[in-house]
Every structure is written in C-alpha cells, then in structure tokens.
Structure 1
Amino acid sequence: MRPRLENDYHDDRRTRRTTAAAAATALVGGTLLAGGLLLNPAQAAEPVHEPLRDAAERQGVTLGFALTPGHLNDSGYREIAEREIDLVVAENAMKWDATEPSQGGFSWGRADQVVAFADAQDADLYGHTLVWHSQLPGWVEGLTDPARLRDAMYDHIDAVVGQWQGGFQGEARLTNTGQDALDPWELAWDFSGGETVAQSWGGDLTQTGAHVTVTGPSWQTTLAPGQSTTVGFIGAGEPAAVTGLTANGDPCTPA
C-alpha cells in the first residue's frame, strides 16, 4: 500500500489538498520527488532561509536598520532584528531633542539602549545626525544670537560624541594661501595611533590603512585663493597627532 502523504494544512480543505499532492508527488526510497526536484524529508517539511545579513555580506554589503528602542519589546521585531541585521543606527534616540532636552541637561537612556543592542549583537553602530534642521529642542529654537547658537551646537556635539567610549570628533580646515585656485582640491594625512573614520562631512573621505584622503564634494570642488573649507569626521580609537599633512600633494603647515 502506498504510504499516506502528509501536508501542512489543517483546515477544512485538508482532504482536497492531500489528494492533489498525491497526484503530483511520489515517495521513493524515503525521498520526496516533486516536479522533477529531489528533496529530502527535512527539506520538504521545513525550508531553511539564509539570514539577509549573510547574503548581503557575500556581495560586500553591510545590512542595517534604524532602531527605535521601544520596538524591541515586540518579540517579532526583536527576533527579525537579531537574525537579519548587522548594522544599527538610532532612528530618533540620538537626535538633539532626545539627548539634550534642556541646555546642559543630557538624557542618554534611549540612546544607551541602541548602543547596548548593537553591542549584544556584535553589530556595527553608526551614530545619527548630530545637528540638523529638525527635531530641535525648544531652547535651541529660542537662540537668536549666532555666537550662542554655535557654542551650544559645539557643546552638544562634543557631549554626544564623547558619551560612548572610543569615539572622537575631528576637524580639518584647509585654507588656500596660494595665488592659484585649487581645482580640484585634496587634503591628506596619516593617523599615527590606529584610528579609523566612521563618518565624515564637508568632503568625500576615504581611508586605506592609516592614510586618509579627502576630496572636494560635488558642490565645492574648487578652492579660490584665500578661500577655506572645513572637513569634519567621527572616528574610533584614541586620537593622536596626525602626520604627513598635504594639500594637493604639497606639505601643509598646521595652524
């Protein structure tokens, strides 16, 4: 007698689906033959899905998501995040209104949850926008003096970047003191303490080993005589003195 075929359906259509399956499949020597495909019983019963992060890694891609800590209370959300993702960025928990609701009064609770989740998963952690036009606390919107606003912004950035051990913020200002335009401009230096750059702004930054190169962004590829530009970055490691500072291949004099 042909063995009875089992299936995964348990509603009132069970008999019809089982009959249809029997017409399309045959059990041969403990192996399920279906539509020309040879599947062992374990494969047929429970397909195994490769985590998205593993598939992405084969293509040289890091797969990440924006995390809201409160969503981790949802078991389904947390299970998917733990299984599929290897890069975490804070969705809102590291923005200005969340981290400094009153001037000089910092609140790190939600941001610390983001950091803790990334650490627990051994995932990369990317910081979010330090300063932007939206989600500002009310006290910032009330600052009308440019100098006070600038000081508040620098104090906020220093506090956020310095909150988690191993991070630092750097800045390089390039001034064209020559008689000819730098078109395009390029700034380069070498780190001396094993530092690495995680994020940058004000230029297109690349790093190979200890060597860092910054080129002008699409909106400012040229520096006219007397003109300056500033490049900022967030790094990992303990900051040390840089060496080999050059602009378009010529040695620079640090200010």
Structure 2
Amino acid sequence: MRIQSENGISQPSSALTELGRIAVGEKVERSGQVVPSSIDSFRIRGDHAGVVHKIYGDSITELPILFYSDQEELVCNERLEIRTNDGKLFGYGDNHTFHIWNDELKKYAVTTTDRRPQIRDETVAFLQKSLPPAKAKLIKWLPVLTLRFVIRDIPLLGYWQFSTRAVQTTIPNLRNKFDEYKKLFGSVQYLPFLLKVKKVKTNKPGLAYQYPIVDLVPQFSFETAHRLARYLRENPTADASRWLREQGDSLESLPSAE
C-alpha cells in the first residue's frame, strides 16, 4: 500500500512468518512519565531477538538484509494511520481507501473518499471528542512506513519488520531509495542490502538535538551496480540475484555486519 489520491490498493499477505520487530527507539521514564526516546542502534524485539544478538552482537547498527518480494505492499509499505488516545490502531488507509474500526461489527470497515470525502476529518473529530485539549491535539493521521525483510545468516525462516513515523527524515529516505533501486535494477528481490542506523545532529538554527536516520545501502560496489543495471536493461527478464552470484558477488562471499 502507498499513500495515493486515486485508486485503492489491496494488501496481499505474506507466506512467511513474522519473527520479530526492529526499532530505533525505546520507552524511558522521565519525571514520573513513560515517554519514547530514540537510540543509535537497532532494538530487536520478539522471541527470537537473542538469535540476532548472538550473531550480530549487543549493539547493532548494521543488519544485512534481503527483500523476499518485489511487491511494495509486502516489503516497503506506506500508509496513513490514526490511533486512539490509548494507542490502539483505529484506522488506516492509502488516502483513498480507508479501514476504520467499527465497534459494533468488531472489525475494520472499508470506505473510500468517493463515498465519504471528509472521512479523515470525521475520524479525527470522533477520536478527539471528550478529550482535554492537550490530548486532543495529539490525535491525527500520520504516515507510517514499514519494511519487511529477511536477515541474512539467521537460521530461521521468516521476516522481520521495521516501522517508522519519521516523516521528514527516515520515511522519504527509505521509500525513495527502495523505489530508485527497484527502478534501476528492475528488481530488489534477494539482492543484498545493509540496513543501517546512525544519529545525526539537526541543522536548524537555535536547536541542538540528535535523531536517528535509518538508511538502505546496496551491499555491492558501484561498478557492480552499473554493470547489473546495464545487464538488466539488455535482459529485462533476467534474475538479478543470479547474475550477482555468477559475477562472484555471491551472498555467501559478502561481508556480514559486525
């Protein structure tokens, strides 16, 4: 799913099992309140987190990954979400087709902006009702980008999920690079990438804070990428990952993250 203004997009399901989730933030207690705080490494969550840390260490800033599909709806999904005051997912959509929670039916009901042009504003007003102003202003639709991928060298068959709401930084960075690589190579499926995180300082005058940016980097040289792009232009139905292996840039020979 991608945010759009015209046609709705259905979201296919993955045949793989979700193994865990990855974040660049954690919740900490400040002044008696639990608040989110960013960190400069990946936080691995789920029952299999120990497997990842055993292979890649305690503080992980790089993960070697593979996208198991070319379908953006599965592996690089962007949508709008709105949550209740207590953090429950109340609605999501692509800016044309929306899924809104129906408490009577106990499921998400589907509607479109063709049928309800003001659905976004109506949903915000409904969730803000009876809330004090300080909490009401926090109710809003927010873009969320979700990557789903396989981590190399993990002896488990399944995908890991990373989601971000960083609309000014990480979302456009990951979305645009995914789209550029897919356009350049014709496919991203099974190509080796590094998912990297680092903290950077803001450039805005008068402000002095740091925030994490997550980056997506092809794990092969520029020369190899150039040859691969040319090869795929001449052979549009070719398998990009197979070509890499035949050139000696096999997944096994590529260095793992440390």
Task: Identify whether the pair has TM-score above 0.5, normalized to the shorter chain.
Answer: no
| Structure richer in helix, relative to its length | 1
Tell me the TM-score normalized by structure 2.
Answer: 0.24
Tell me the TM-score normalized by structure 1.
Answer: 0.24
Mark the structure with the bigger radius of gyration: 1
| Structure richer in strand, relative to its length | 2
Higher relative contact order (CA 8 A, sep 6+): 2
